[in-house]
């Protein structure tokens, strides 16, 4: 549902400069999609739920938990830190710190983890999807904060 603003603005400018017939209203569609995504995120935020895909059972992470640990960066949201901690029952678990949020990352299936993002204004369940580079190193993850945001590994 999310439209990339850069693509839509480029397409709108190209239509204007080339005096092309209006076949699509790029900017209003972008604004509408962004508004819908924002309201959906707020609705999920209010009740602590989020958009989480159907789980594929018995599919553990594809890497040892240590491989996900590191500092990741996003140009708008800044740094996100993923650490390995011991849970209350003694199991190792991943912890995420991003913006004002701190959450455990619970393995969901493959390289997808769930997170419960909570602060003064937000209480939302979301997913973090990790990506592996060609050399089999976890190099980024995407998480839905208000819109999908990709954080790239710094270290």
Give 130-142 pLDDT, tens digit per residue: 999 999 999 999 9
Classify domain 65-153 by CATH number. Answer: 2.40.128.50
Cα–Cα distances (Å) from 6 to 21, 26, 32, 43, in that order, read 20, 11, 15, 26
pLDDT in tens, 63-110: 999 999 999 999 999 999 999 999 888 999 999 999 889 999 999 999
Residue 2's region, left for phi above 0, alpha for psi from -120 to 50, else beta, is: beta
Where are the domains positioned within the chain? 5-47, 65-153
Residue entry with tokens 């983890």? 113
Half-sphere exposure of 13 (CA within 13 A, CB side): 6
Q: Indicate the pTM of the whole model.
A: 0.67
pLDDT in tens, 14-40: 777 777 776 666 567 666 766 776 666
Q: What average pLDDT does the structure give for the chain? A: 82
């Amino acid at each position: 549902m999310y439209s990339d603003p850069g693509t839509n603005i480029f397409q709108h400018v190209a239509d204007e400069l080339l005096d092309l017939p209006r076949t699509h209203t790029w900017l209003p569609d972008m604004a509408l999609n962004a508004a819908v995504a924002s309201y959906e995120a707020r609705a999920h935020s209010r009740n602590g739920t989020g958009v989480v895909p159907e789980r594929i059972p018995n599919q553990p992470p594809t890497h040892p938990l240590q491989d996900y640990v590191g500092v990741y960066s996003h140009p708008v949201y800044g740094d996100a830190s993923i650490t390995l901690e011991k849970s209350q029952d003694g199991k190792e678990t991943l912890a995420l710190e991003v913006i004002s949020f701190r959450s455990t990352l619970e393995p969901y299936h493959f390289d997808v983890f769930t997170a419960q993002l909570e602060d003064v204004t937000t209480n939302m369940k979301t997913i973090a999807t990790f990506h592996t580079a060609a050399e089999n190193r976890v190099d980024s993850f995407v998480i839905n904060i208000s819109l999908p945001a990709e954080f790239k590994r710094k270290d």
